[in-house]
Amino acid sequence: MSKFSTVIWPKVVLFGDSITQFSFQPNGWGAETANKLARKCDVVNRGLSGYNSRWAKIVLPRLISSQNPAENNIAAVTVFFGANDASLEDKNPQQHVPLKEYSDNLKEISRFLTSAGVPADKVIFITPPPIHEPAWEKECVLKGCPLNRHNSVAGQYAQACVQAAGQCGSDVLDLWTLMQKDGQDFTAYLSDGLHLSEKGNQFVAQHLWSILESRVAHLPFILPYWGDVETSSPESSLLCNS
């Protein structure tokens, strides 16, 4: 039997909170990204609902190994935290992370990724989106708690994320700013005042792709196009290592 090598799919890892975890739902930004990269790489969802950057930096070594960096074969990583960190300390102390610690955590995540073979230019930070306080307050009331997030505070965390990304040498997708640019009504981008609606998912997918595309443009189409398979000897096409 002919010897052949196992096909290794490169990976794009989406690391974040619930906005990442739910991104593989129909029309989600993660699903849209995976669809664009079919036959080029695997898009891996590592979204952890409710998590903040403090917990993220702790669990990251369990998700990506730094022991054999070359074996990770990671084309890009998105780091999308802040929506929970920005919770008000007096209203939601469990998820709240102080602003400076949030910034430090992002930098520590970046340093770990570098040690795992993912340099800064392959990391894309994403800021928390804006908060529509009236809608989110209704959700909070339904859960028996007061409003626990403010848009102005989310903006401070978004700014910290932008600054941390710059200090790390990574690109950043500043959703908080882009969704409110030129005074546009950003509420349509949110389903409940915090999480993304279908329109919000489309917005993230579009703007993320404008940054991500250059990181994956070099990736080849994996395995031959069906029309190029040699019908009389398919093994010669399908088992070749080129």
Residues 111-148 have pLDDT tens digits of: 999 999 999 999 999 999 999 999 999 999 999 999 99
Question: What mean pLDDT is predicted for residues 7-35?
Answer: 96
CA angle 78, 152, 16 (to 5 degrees): 20
pLDDT band at 8 (very low <50, low <70, confident <90, very high): confident
pLDDT score for 211: 97
Q: What is the total count of domains within the chain?
A: 1
- Let me know if residue 188 belongs to a domain: yes
Strand order in the sheet with 42-47: 42-47, 11-16, 74-80, 123-126, 171-173
What is the percentage of the chain residues whose pLDDT exceeds 70? 98
The CATH number linked to 51 is 3.40.50.1110
pLDDT of residue 242: 55
What is the extent of the structural domain holding 233?
11-239
Mean pLDDT across the stretch 213-225?
92
For 57-85, what is the mean pLDDT?
Answer: 94
What is the pLDDT confidence band of residue 1, given thresholds at 50, 70 and 90? very low
Q: Is residue 148 one of the residues assigned to a domain?
A: yes
Evaluate if residue 3 carries a pLDDT over 80.
no
SS3 state at 124: strand
- pLDDT recorded at residue 206: 98
What percent of the chain has pLDDT above 90? 89
Residue 68's pLDDT is what?
A: 84
Query: Residue for token digits 């990391």?
Result: 123
The whole-chain average pLDDT of the chain stands at: 95
- Decide if 220 is inside a domain: yes
Residues with a catalytic annotation lie at 18, 192, 195
pTM: predicted TM-score of the whole model, two decimal places: 0.95
pLDDT, residue 7, reads 86
Residue 49 falls inside a structural domain: yes
In a domain, 6, yes or no: no
Tokens of 99: 């602003």
- Is residue 22 assigned to a domain? yes
